[in-house]
Amino acid sequence: MGEISNIQWFPGHMTKTKRQIEANLKLVDAVAEIVDARVPESSRNPIISEITGNKPRIILLNKCDYADDNVTALWQKKYTAMGFKVLICDCRSGKGVNSFIPAVKSVLSELLQKRKAKGFIGRPLRVMVVGIPNVGKSSFINRLSKSGKTKVEDRPGVTRGQQWVTLDKDVELLDTPGILWPKFDDQQVAVKLGYTGAIKDDVMDVYELSDSLLSYLKDNYPKKTRERYKIAESEDIALEIIARKRGMLISGGEPDLERAAITVLDEFRSGKLGKISLERPE
């Protein structure tokens, strides 16, 4: 990674979103931060920690079906040691999502007891869902909503478009529509989010992106890559080889590198290369 031309992007509405989150924070008891398990750090919003302060936080390592289980376990360990409650989940299949409500009750057990002592019973625990685009926020909320007990409503005092989702009698979620940006000033972050497809291809050179992904795969997941593209040990893991293996040729019999590049990105993004993580703790 790193040999990619400078990526420019324009997050926009940053100040507005920040203000919105700060205002919403006053309405909730805890924060659920959804990240992509393949890139937990790169898919975290840099200001969340700054603005959520001491609010209890649950980190959901989502898309665990795409990530390397061993590496995901290391992230879970790291974030747990930092004081967060960590859940590993796959919002597409629903795996791990059932642990969410118990997790909320566990991180807020002190608050629950305090409220009970003061006689505030029946007041639901409120949790704000945050995350950069494409990490699975909507999938998560939809998953939880499928319980049948869910009620979505707009409420006065809350920015229009924001929704409270009632999960059960004890827990409510606040879905923030504002776009949270990733660490856009960090080129490595942009590249990794490019691999996952969280950043649109049109701001990057597809060939460079794919070529650098392939070199990461070569160093970290050579077996899976060789298997997928039927590359023998005697051959190099390279776009040119992949193009030839797949019969992607342009006139004159030259390998169609552009097509091979798109193929590798598509197949990585749709999990066809197997369970792969793009960063590990430390």
Ligand X SMILES: Nc1nc2c(ncn2[C@@H]2O[C@H](COP(=O)(O)OP(=O)(O)O)[C@@H](O)[C@H]2O)c(=O)[nH]1
Report how many residues bind ligand X under the rule CB under 6 A: 15
Are 87 and 58 a contacting pair, CB within 8 Å?
yes
Query: At a CB cut-off of 8 Å and minimum separation 6, what does 251 contact?
Result: none
Figure out which of the listed residues 47, 51, 55, 65 binds ligand X, where binding follows CB under 6 A.
65
Task: Spell out the alpha helix ranges (H) of 149-273.
Answer: 187-196, 206-220, 222-229, 239-245, 257-269
Q: Which does 221 bind (CB under 5 to 8 A by kind): Mg ion, ligand X, none?
A: none
Nearest distance from C-beta of residue 140 to ligand X, angstroms: 7
Nearest distance from C-beta of residue 272 to ligand X, angstroms: 11
Amino acid at the residue 178: G
Q: Which does 269 bind (CB under 5 to 8 A by kind): ligand X, Mg ion, none?
A: none
Figure out which of the listed residues 91, 112, 130, 209 binds ligand X, where binding follows CB under 6 A.
91
Are 207 and 257 a contacting pair, CB within 8 Å?
yes
DSSP conformation class of 95? B
Asked whether position 62 contacts ligand X by CB under 6 A, the answer is yes
Task: Spell out the alpha helix ranges (H) of 98-232.
Answer: 100-107, 109-118, 137-145, 187-196, 206-220, 222-229
Rg of the Cα atoms in the chain: 21
Figure out which of the listed residues 84, 92, 115, 138 binds Mg ion, where binding follows CB under 5 A.
138
Q: Which does 228 bind (CB under 5 to 8 A by kind): ligand X, Mg ion, none?
A: none
Of 178 and 255, CB closest to ligand X? 178
Of 53 and 161, CB closest to Mg ion? 161
Residues found near ligand X in the complex (CB under 6 A) = 62-63, 65-66, 90-92, 131, 133-139
